[in-house]
């Protein structure tokens, strides 16, 4: 059984090396076109998955198959001009994030920490098209990155208050993000708004909040 698996893997890898070597050789002589590269890479990804499907033991082969298929899809989308240059980074980082999301969903949604890298990769990936579209200013990029990284840690703490350690990286990232944000022109609006929000929270807690019971108060009876 093991020998058959190794034989199939050797055939796949050997075939890939021969085909890639031949294509690179032809590429030095003439332009073979993006579609041929997309077809070869996509075909190899399917071949690797077919080998995996026969035994379903070598999980790492799924990663190899996925990577080649993702690259082939990216080349095809670029050639069709469906994927603009500004969206390449989003596509690549989103492709890297997808396996983390798959692991989270395939494990019964118990391994929640896989969502953190998936979220960060997607959030950073969409930053480039946001910059290109004028939605995000260059000066706000550092603040955006730090706030994006901080957000999932706040979510982790909100969902489970016992995981108080999540507030440490969240707080550090937030402070650093605010530092960059204050350095921008837009900061002249941030400070007064922040003061008003903090003041409003204090007033709401004063008039509508639940006051703490003194520790030395003992229940009667």
Angle at 189 between CA 188 and CA 195, to 5 degrees: 105
Global pTM value? 0.57
Q: What integer best gives the mean pLDDT of the chain?
A: 77
* pLDDT > 70? residue 5: no
Domain residue extents for the chain: 1-83
pLDDT in tens, 51-73: 888 777 777 778 888 888 888 88
Residue located via tokens 């994927």: 83
Q: 8 vs 76, which has greater pLDDT? A: 76
Among the listed residues 56, 55, 44, 35, the one whose alpha carbon sits nearest the alpha carbon of residue 15 = 44
Q: Contact, 123 vs 148, CB < 8 A?
A: yes
């Amino acid at each position: 059984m093991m020998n058959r698996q190794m034989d199939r893997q050797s055939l796949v890898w050997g075939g890939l090396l021969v085909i890639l070597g031949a294509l690179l050789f032809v590429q030095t002589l003439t332009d073979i076109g993006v579609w041929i590269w997309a077809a070869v890479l996509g075909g190899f990804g399917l071949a690797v998955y077919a080998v995996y499907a026969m035994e379903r033991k070598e999980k790492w082969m799924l990663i190899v198959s996925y990577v080649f298929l993702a690259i082939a899809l990216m080349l095809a989308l670029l050639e069709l001009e469906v994927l603009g240059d500004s969206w390449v980074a989003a596509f690549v980082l989103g492709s890297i994030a997808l396996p983390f999301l798959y692991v989270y969903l395939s494990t019964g949604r118990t391994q929640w920490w896989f969502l953190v890298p998936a979220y960060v990769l997607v959030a950073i990936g969409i930053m480039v098209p946001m910059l290109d579209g004028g939605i995000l200013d260059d000066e706000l990029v550092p603040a955006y990155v730090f706030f994006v990284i901080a957000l999932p840690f706040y979510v982790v703490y909100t969902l489970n208050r016992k995981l108080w350690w999540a507030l440490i990286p969240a707080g550090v990232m937030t402070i650093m993000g605010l530092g960059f944000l204050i350095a921008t022109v837009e900061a002249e609006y941030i400070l007064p708004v922040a003061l008003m929000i903090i003041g409003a929270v204090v007033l709401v807690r004063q008039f509508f909040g639940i006051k703490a019971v003194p520790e030395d108060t003992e229940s009667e009876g």
